[in-house]
């Protein structure tokens, strides 16, 4: 069974940065050895890479969580920790990466080999060698590594085809694809035979292009009826549309109404779809004739709207060459200029918290709760058995204005101050 999966939701986690080391030189004949703790290594990034050899997003149904390698902790003798390895996640070409939390497009991986860093690894923490000063000669603390970044992303694949076949179910799109290419779509005389988009390569007049059979669209498809958006979105990538219409009316439908309904659904989904070059293939012409008043009426109606009509019978290969030749001619004249229709999500900018240095104060009864991005990182770096390390934490809190803020809220000596899960009593001698 050929399964096509074109949307998946996964969790990605970058690597945590390695912690800086607390270390002192301890060598014979080297009196009063100073600090020599090395820096931690950077955490690995999570990177998406387009791969033309992949056809579906099926793999992401079975594995939903992906994590890069953490950075190694720093070591003594100023030795740096090893950087964590990046995690490369391969996806099919034509995959759009979407941030699930904001629904913003992060990257559109159109070409084979395109890469995008979706989650940066945490920075490595500094070793204690960086925290010496004229007063603090032997710091007994180091910086914790940067936190890993975790986010949910939606992977959405859109087929990359030059020409898209559109039309109601059972009008002959799959048959046209099968006689035009080496593709072998499932064909039968009932609606929605095609439940997955089929691709094939057309070779004509020493030219070639990729053609996709987009599954049958019905009224209300733009609102999700039938197969709805599942297939409409694949038409966005195509450059030329071949609109296949059953002009025989053998199923009791009016070809003119079919033509208008399909174009209406395309327009409701995206106005840009109505502006794509469109060839109208009047299929099943063998069941009537080109002199039939119904066909003449249909041809005049469609041509009055500015489209070319080609009589065709795909099963017996009548008119197929003319339709494909017109598509090849149009593609030659159309410049290929894929345009970005969105402002890309920039990890290096969007992941930066502008309030990272802010220390927030809340009061819960008699407990004063402190929080903040940089505060928590310094807190994670604190050695609570070392006076110098505690003093470093206190100075940061004081300089941030949090102590003054707490006093305005009624902070007194002996009151409890809480950071994360750690509680301590406040004294002015902090």
Q: Same domain for 175 and 321?
A: yes
Cα radius of gyration (the chain): 32
Q: Same domain for 234 and 327?
A: yes
Q: What is the CATH number of the domain that holds 52?
A: 2.70.210.12
Q: Same domain for 82 and 141?
A: yes
Q: Same domain for 262 and 370?
A: no
Burial call 179-212: b when 16+ CB within 10 Å, e when fewer: ebbebebeeeeeeebbebbbbbebeeeeeebbbb
340 falls within a domain: no
Distance CA 125, CA 163 (A): 53
Provide the domain count of the chain: 3
252 falls within a domain: yes
Please, which residues have CB within 8 angstroms of residue 408's CB and are 6 or more apart in sequence?
none
Please state whether the predicted TM-score (pTM) of the whole model is above 0.75.
no
Among residues 298, 314, 333, the one where a domain terminates is: 333
Digit-by-digit pLDDT tens for the chain (430 residues) are 334 457 899 999 999 999 999 999 877 665 557 899 999 999 999 999 999 888 788 889 889 999 999 999 999 999 999 999 999 999 998 899 999 998 899 998 988 899 999 999 999 999 999 988 877 888 889 999 999 999 999 998 877 788 999 998 888 888 999 898 865 544 444 444 444 567 788 988 888 888 888 765 555 444 444 444 455 667 777 889 999 999 998 877 899 999 999 999 888 888 888 889 999 999 999 999 899 999 999 999 999 999 999 999 999 999 999 999 999 999 998 876 555 556 667 787 777 888 888 999 999 988 999 999 999 999 989 988 888 888 889 999 999 999 999 999 999 888 899 999 889 888 876 5
Q: Same domain for 43 and 135?
A: yes
Among residues 142, 157, 172, the one where a domain terminates is: 157
**Structural domain for 378, as ranges:** 360-425
Closest CA to 150 of 92, 185, 99: 99
Among residues 129, 157, 185, the one where a domain terminates is: 157
346 falls within a domain: no
How many residues are listed for the chain in this entry? 430
Q: Same domain for 135 and 264?
A: no
């Amino acid at each position: 069974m050929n399964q096509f999966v074109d949307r998946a939701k996964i969790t990605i986690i970058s690597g945590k940065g390695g912690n800086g080391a607390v270390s002192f030189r301890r060598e014979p004949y080297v009196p009063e050895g100073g600090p020599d703790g090395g820096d931690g290594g950077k955490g690995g990034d999570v990177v998406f890479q387009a791969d033309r050899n992949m056809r579906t997003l099926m793999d992401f149904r079975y594995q939903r969580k992906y994590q890069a390698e953490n950075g190694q902790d720093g070591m003594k003798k100023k030795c740096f920790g090893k950087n964590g390895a990046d995690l490369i996640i391969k996806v099919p070409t034509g995959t759009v990466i979407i941030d699930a939390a904001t629904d913003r497009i992060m990257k559109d991986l159109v070409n084979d080999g395109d890469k995008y860093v979706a989650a940066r690894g945490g920075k490595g923490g500094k070793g204690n060698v960086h925290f010496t000063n004229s007063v603090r000669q032997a710091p007994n603390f180091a910086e914790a590594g940067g936190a890993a970044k975790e986010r949910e992303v939606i992977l959405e694949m859109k087929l990359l085809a030059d020409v898209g076949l559109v039309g109601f179910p059972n009008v002959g799109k799959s048959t046209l694809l099968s006689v035009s290419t080496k593709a072998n779509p499932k064909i039968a005389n009932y609606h929605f035979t095609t439940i997955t988009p089929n691709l094939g390569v057309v070779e004509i007049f020493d030219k070639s292009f990729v053609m996709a059979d987009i599954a049958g669209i019905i009224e209300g498809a733009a609102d999700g009826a039938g197969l709805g958006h599942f297939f409409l979105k694949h038409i966005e990538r195509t450059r030329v549309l071949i609109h296949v219409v059953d002009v025989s009316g053998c199923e009791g439908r009016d070809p003119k109404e079919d033509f208008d309904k399909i174009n209406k659904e395309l327009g409701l989904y995206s106005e840009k779809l109505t502006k794509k070059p469109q060839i109208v293939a009047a299929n099943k012409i063998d069941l009537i004739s080109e002199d039939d008043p119904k066909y003449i009426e249909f041809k005049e109606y469609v041509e009055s709207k500015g489209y070319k009509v080609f009589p065709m019978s795909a099963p017996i290969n009548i008119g197929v060459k003319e339709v494909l030749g017109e598509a090849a001619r149009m593609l030659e004249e159309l410049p290929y200029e894929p345009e970005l229709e969105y402002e890309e999500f920039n990890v290096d900018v969007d992941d930066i918290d502008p309030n990272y240095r802010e220390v927030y104060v809340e009061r819960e009864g008699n407990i004063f709760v402190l929080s903040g991005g940089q505060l928590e990182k310094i807190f994670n770096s604190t050695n609570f058995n070392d006076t110098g390390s505690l003093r470093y934490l206190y100075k940061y809190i004081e300089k941030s204005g949090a102590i003054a803020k707490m006093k305005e809220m009624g902070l007194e000596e002996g009151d409890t101050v809480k950071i994360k899960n750690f509680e301590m009593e406040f004294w002015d001698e902090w």
